[in-house]
């Protein structure tokens, strides 16, 4: 069933939310955020306003307060059911009330209720949260302020009390009814080399000569056309560290918030080893829902998500090794597979898979990932080939917790590498399915190259497993450390590891130190990383480390309002209430009882428009040939006399929107286990005519007006498409077109004509990649390794002669050492 976040109304109604102001404080790899929502009622009647907005999955929201007529009202974190009752009772009695909560079906969506906003009144609502910043491959710390909330695809059995079910009207990104401003202050003990953003920033202002503090802000006129991303580059980003934070004096010792808390950050130096030749079962789960037709970014002529995914998928297929196993699933409202079961990677199976990738379309309706996941998990394992699952999706699903739970239940069978494509991808889904399975998560937004991030993940998946990960403490007598972070089960080369611990006992004089040691085994060898640190805890009024430690605990135990049961449910509720960090079972509620008299109705209900990619909204309707029902949503603003509290929750569902099912003809499509039947080829497909070397490249397909960078990228993709499964290239006219050489000249320059011409062609291709595509090496590094491993036995003692002749023939400057000469 497709539920949409509402349709854009053409009425020019007043929107009570006027602006969102964000103050961001980043210290090293931790961000503290204060976001203020400014409301004003310009109507002549009192309002109740409802706003749905995105939040990063890793955000630990710990404070919510209202400023009304100069008076601060601090919200209390309560059991969610109790908070709802208190909120409904308050507004029924004419009091002002405010409610902030996570959605019951996804941890990265929040809703804010403002009850009884009198005519002409203003109110400021401020929420505060802290979060760890992920480390990018190039050493950047990445902060994202989610601004886009795309419609989520709902299964028919989804509970109706999800805020995602409410048909809040959507706002076009080019003309939002409210503004967004953000100011960021960044500090570090090391110098800050640069700050980059996908949005226009005001001039960067360094606050000291040592460049250890900088301030930036969004330029005036920023629009809600993308998530706001900051990339911060420090001079020594890989330095390990330990920070100890003082607990709350009023709390009992031996409690989470009463004892000091330590945050340990390690960057283990894991050796890089040769990738196994043929090992692993690689199953690729590709989102082909309608929303994948949306563009990758807001730039003119931005590539559709599905096209970028197809290019990446072909590159990934080309990078696998002969002898491994693979399969590809397409999913949307239904799913299909390229093969009934995973097949061995050969030239024939690779060719068939690449040809079918070319025919992929974003035409499968909604986003139902759970069914194909279960089909994958039902398959028997292949001995000696551990399962590696690659999930590509724009993350527009609503049954997030159910999917995470399914992946977690099968975490012993596989690792999951997840990729969130485009603005508005669910951070809750993408991060958690990787986290619970010991994989890695990546987000591809703006001008990010999907290919680089995916091939980096593939390289990590091929590395041997780091085992026996443990953390030990050497502390003075009378002091002990208790781990708060979940047990670490996987570790990748270049990955940062953050661990939280509670320190109990007697704290010591200023000169006292402790030692923490990370131990692990890799390829049968034992490794240790040790750090000395001072034991004097620092005071932080925000209790940043304690909140992050609590969030770490909650992420391990909180599987959603309906998926978490038994003891875990009680633990989540207790941790949340003690730490003040919101969870699936708690909500913030604030009530202003100091009004001179209760506010008199009728009370008008206003759903505040949510910034949404309208292309995603329009593309989410299933095609009729998929046999899926079509739904239309209407959004209403209805003046309401206050009903009794017990009926309010029903009012929100029943009065906000009506969903009407319409017939979609007699065309139907049954559930597929294996897709069948050809689809129409797309005339602009980059890889067409190259994959199997069956056709000759036509110069008419190249747009000579294209920028040089675009033209070279197309040549690069064409060269990759010509590589065979074993890593070699054939010497033919298609290769000559990429090299801009005639076949006759290439053959004439061959210095060892007694050898297989493919060896000469393969060496030329590898040298061309180094000469023309060095900036994309992450993408073709595995291809190069396959090629060199293939060419060595064929070239033998002639290798050096071939390489030198190829460099001279192509007239490039490339180090022959790339062939280990």
Mean predicted lDDT score pLDDT of the chain: 83
* 267-276, 451-460, 726-735, 757-766: least confident range: 267-276
Task: Read off the pLDDT of residues 199-209 as tens digits, 9 standing for 90 and up.
Answer: 999 988 888 77
- pLDDT at position 615 is 52
Q: What is the DSSP letter of 797?
A: G
d(CA 396, CA 378): 25
d(CA 17, CA 624): 38
User: 180 forms bridges with which residues in the sheet?
Assistant: 20
d(CA 686, CA 718): 7
d(CA 147, CA 226): 6
Residue 118 has pLDDT above 70, yes or no: yes
Residue predicted with more confidence, 296 or 640: 296
Q: What are the angstrom distances between the C-alpha of 251 and each of 30, 78, 242?
A: 24, 18, 23
Cβ neighbors of 744 (< 8 A, separation 6 or more) are none
Residue predicted with more confidence, 341 or 592: 341
Tell me the pLDDT band of 709, cut-offs 50, 70 and 90: low
* Alpha helices by DSSP H, 495-639: 544-557, 566-579, 614-619
- pLDDT at position 172 is 62
d(CA 286, CA 329): 6
- Pairing between β-strand 170-171 and β-strand 610-611 as defined by DSSP bridges: parallel
Contact (CB, 8 A) for 51 and 125: no
Task: Read off the pLDDT of residues 714-725 as tens digits, 9 standing for 90 and up.
Answer: 889 899 999 999
Task: Read off the pLDDT of residues 133-142 as tens digits, 9 standing for 90 and up.
Answer: 999 888 899 9
In terms of Cβ atoms closer than 10 Å to its own Cβ (0-12, 13-18, 19+), residue 361 is middle
- pLDDT at position 625 is 33
Give 303-353 as a DSSP string.
PBHHHHHHHHHHHHHHHS-TT-EEEEEEESSSEEESSSS-EE--HHHHHHH
Contact (CB, 8 A) for 145 and 22: yes
Q: Which two tokens stand for residue 108?
A: 């990265």
Q: Which two tokens stand for residue 603?
A: 């009370």
Residue 771 has pLDDT above 90, yes or no: yes
**CA 357: distance to chain centroid?**
23
Q: What are the angstrom distances between the C-alpha of 818 and each of 277, 583, 802?
A: 19, 52, 13
For the beta carbon of residue 485, count every other beta carbon within 10 angstroms. 19
Contact (CB, 8 A) for 739 and 767: no
Cis peptide before 602 (omega within 30 of 0): yes
Residue 122 has pLDDT above 80, yes or no: yes
Contact (CB, 8 A) for 548 and 132: yes
> What is the maximal distance between C-alpha atoms in the chain?
99
Residue predicted with more confidence, 650 or 340: 340
For the beta carbon of residue 423, count every other beta carbon within 10 angstroms. 31
Residue 12 has pLDDT above 70, yes or no: no
- pLDDT at position 195 is 94
Q: Which two tokens stand for residue 99?
A: 């409610």
Average pLDDT over residues 503-529: 89
Residue 664 has pLDDT above 50, yes or no: no
* 353-357, 425-429, 682-686, 762-766: least confident range: 682-686
Q: What are the angstrom distances between the C-alpha of 416 and each of 134, 430, 460, 544, 577?
A: 18, 10, 12, 30, 32
Cβ neighbors of 347 (< 8 A, separation 6 or more) are 724, 725, 726
- pLDDT at position 730 is 96
Task: Read off the pLDDT of residues 277-322 as tens digits, 9 standing for 90 and up.
Answer: 568 999 999 999 988 998 887 777 788 999 999 999 999 999 999 9
Cβ neighbors of 67 (< 8 A, separation 6 or more) are 73, 123, 124, 125, 126
Average pLDDT over residues 627-655: 31
**Among residues 408, 414, 372, which one has the least CA distance to residue 393?**
372
Average pLDDT over residues 742-749: 94
Contact (CB, 8 A) for 424 and 149: yes
For the beta carbon of residue 444, count every other beta carbon within 10 angstroms. 25
- pLDDT at position 596 is 65
- pLDDT at position 90 is 93
Give 11-29 as a DSSP string.
-----SEEEEEEEEEEETT
φ, ψ at 809 (rounded to 5°): -65, -40
Instruction: Count Cα neighbours of 723 within 13 Å in the Cβ-side half-sphere.
Output: 34
- pLDDT at position 250 is 92
Tell me the pLDDT band of 162, cut-offs 50, 70 and 90: low
Contact (CB, 8 A) for 495 and 486: no
Q: Which two tokens stand for residue 623?
A: 């095609």
Whole-number CA gyration radius for the chain: 29
Task: Read off the pLDDT of residues 37-87 as tens digits, 9 standing for 90 and up.
Answer: 999 999 999 999 999 899 999 999 999 999 998 889 999 999 999 999 999
- pLDDT at position 151 is 67
- pLDDT at position 236 is 84
Q: What is the DSSP letter of 120?
A: T
Residue predicted with more confidence, 728 or 298: 728
d(CA 651, CA 643): 9
Contact (CB, 8 A) for 582 and 551: no
3-class secondary structure, 543: coil
Average pLDDT over residues 782-787: 93
Q: Which two tokens stand for residue 719?
A: 């060269």
- pLDDT at position 247 is 94
Q: What is the chain's length?
A: 821
Place of tokens 């972070």: 485
Q: Which two tokens stand for residue 62?
A: 């710990």
3-class secondary structure, 130: strand
- pLDDT at position 494 is 83
Place of tokens 């994202």: 144
- pLDDT at position 691 is 37
Cβ neighbors of 333 (< 8 A, separation 6 or more) are 289, 364, 365, 366, 368, 622, 626, 628
Residue 275 has pLDDT above 70, yes or no: no
Give 271-297 as a DSSP string.
PP-PPPSS--EEEEEEE-SGGGGSBSS
Task: Read off the pLDDT of residues 13-27 as tens digits, 9 standing for 90 and up.
Answer: 678 999 999 999 999
In terms of Cβ atoms closer than 10 Å to its own Cβ (0-12, 13-18, 19+), residue 44 is exposed
Residue 276 has pLDDT above 80, yes or no: no
- pLDDT at position 809 is 95
């Amino acid at each position: 069933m497709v539920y949409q976040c509402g349709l854009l109304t053409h009425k020019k109604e007043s929107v009570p939310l006027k602006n969102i102001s964000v103050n961001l404080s980043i210290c090293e790899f931790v961000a503290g955020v204060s976001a203020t929502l400014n409301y004003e009622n310009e109507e002549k009647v009192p309002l109740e306003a409802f706003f749905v907005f995105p939040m990063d999955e890793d955000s630990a929201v710990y404070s919510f307060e209202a400023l009304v007529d100069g008076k601060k009202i601090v919200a209390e974190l309560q059991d969610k059911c109790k908070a709802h009752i208190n909120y409904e009772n308050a507004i029924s009695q004419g009091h002002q009330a405010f409610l902030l909560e996570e959605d019951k079906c996804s941890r990265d969506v929040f809703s804010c209720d403002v009850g009884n906003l009198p005519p002409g009144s203003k109110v400021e609502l401020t929420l505060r949260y802290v979060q760890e910043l992920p480390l990018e491959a190039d050493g950047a710390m990445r902060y994202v302020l989610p601004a886009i909330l795309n419609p989520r695809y709902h299964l028919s059995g989804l509970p109706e009390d999800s805020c995602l079910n409410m048909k809040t009207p959507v706002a076009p990104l080019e003309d939002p009814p409210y503004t967004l401003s953000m100011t960021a202050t960044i500090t570090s003990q090391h110098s800050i080399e640069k700050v980059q953003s996908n949005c226009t920033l005001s001039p960067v202002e360094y606050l000291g000569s040592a460049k250890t503090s900088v301030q930036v802000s969004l330029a005036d006129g920023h629009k809600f056309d993308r998530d706001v991303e900051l990339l911060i580059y420090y001079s020594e980003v890989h330095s390990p560290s330990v920070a100890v934070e003082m607990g709350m004096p009023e709390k009992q010792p031996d409690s989470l918030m009463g004892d000091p808390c330590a945050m340990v950050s390690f960057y283990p130096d894991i050796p890089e080893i040769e990738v196994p030749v043929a090992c692993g079962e690689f199953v690729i789960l590709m989102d082909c829902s309608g929303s994948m037709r949306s563009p990758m970014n807001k730039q003119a002529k931005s590539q559709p998500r599905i096209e970028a995914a197809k290019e990446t998928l072909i590159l990934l297929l080309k990078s696998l090794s002969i002898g491994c196993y693979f399969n590809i699933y397409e999913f949307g409202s239904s799913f299909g597979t390229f093969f009934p079961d995973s097949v061995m990677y050969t030239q024939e199976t690779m060719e068939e898979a690449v040809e079918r990738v070319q025919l992929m379309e974003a035409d499968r309706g909604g986003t139902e990932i759970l069914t194909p996941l279960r089909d994958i998990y039902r398959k028997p394992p292949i001995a000696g080939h551990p399962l590696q699952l690659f999930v590509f999706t724009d993350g527009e699903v609503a049954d997030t917790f159910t999917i995470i739970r399914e992946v977690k239940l099968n975490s012993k069978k596989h690792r999951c590498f997840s990729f969130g494509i485009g603005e508005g991808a669910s951070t809750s889904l993408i991060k958690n399915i990787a986290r619970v399975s010991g994989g890695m998560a990546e987000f591809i937004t703006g001008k990010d190259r999907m290919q680089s991030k995916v091939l980096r993940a593939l390289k990590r998946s091929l590395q041997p497993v780091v085992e026996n990960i443990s953390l030990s403490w050497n502390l003075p007598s009378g002091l002990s450390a208790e781990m708060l972070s979940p047990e670490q089960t996987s570790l990748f080369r270049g990955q940062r590891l953050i661990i939280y611990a509670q320190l109990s006992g007697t704290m010591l004089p200023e000169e006292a130190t402790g030692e923490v040691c990370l131990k692990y085994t890799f390829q049968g060898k034992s490794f240790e990383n040790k750090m000395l640190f001072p034991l004097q805890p620092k005071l932080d009024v925000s209790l940043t480390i304690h909140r992050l430690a609590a969030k770490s605990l909650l992420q391990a135990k909180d599987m959603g309002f309906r998926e978490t049961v038994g003891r875990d449910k009680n633990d989540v509720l207790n941790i949340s209430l003690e730490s003040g960090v919101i969870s699936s079972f708690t909500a913030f509620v604030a009530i202003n009882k100091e009004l001179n008299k209760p506010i008199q109705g009728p009370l008008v209900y206003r759903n505040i428009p949510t910034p949404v990619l309208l292309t995603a909204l329009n593309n989410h309707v299933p095609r009729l040939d998929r046999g899926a029902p079509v739904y239309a949503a209407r959004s209403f603003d209805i003046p309401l006399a206050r009903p009794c509290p017990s009926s309010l929750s029903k009012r929100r569902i029943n009065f906000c929107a009506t969903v009407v099912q319409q017939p979609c003809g007699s065309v139907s499509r049954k559930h597929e286990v294996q897709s069948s039947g050809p689809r129409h080829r797309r005339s602009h497909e980059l890889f067409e005519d190259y994959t199997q070397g069956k056709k000759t490249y036509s110069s008419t397909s190249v747009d000579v007006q294209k920028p040089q960078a675009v033209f070279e990228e197309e040549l690069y993709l064409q060269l990759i498409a010509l590589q065979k499964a074993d890593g070699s290239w054939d010497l033919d006219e298609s290769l000559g077109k990429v090299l801009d050489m005639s076949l006759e000249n290439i053959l004439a320059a061959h210095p060892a004509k007694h050898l297989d011409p493919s060896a000469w062609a393969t060496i030329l291709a590898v040298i061309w990649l180094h000469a023309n595509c060095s900036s994309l090496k992450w993408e073709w590094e595995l291809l190069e390794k396959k090629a060199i491993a293939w060419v060595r036995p064929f070239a033998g003692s002639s290798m050096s002669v071939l390489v030198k002749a190829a460099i001279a023939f192509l007239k490039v400057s490339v180090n022959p050492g790339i062939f280990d000469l």
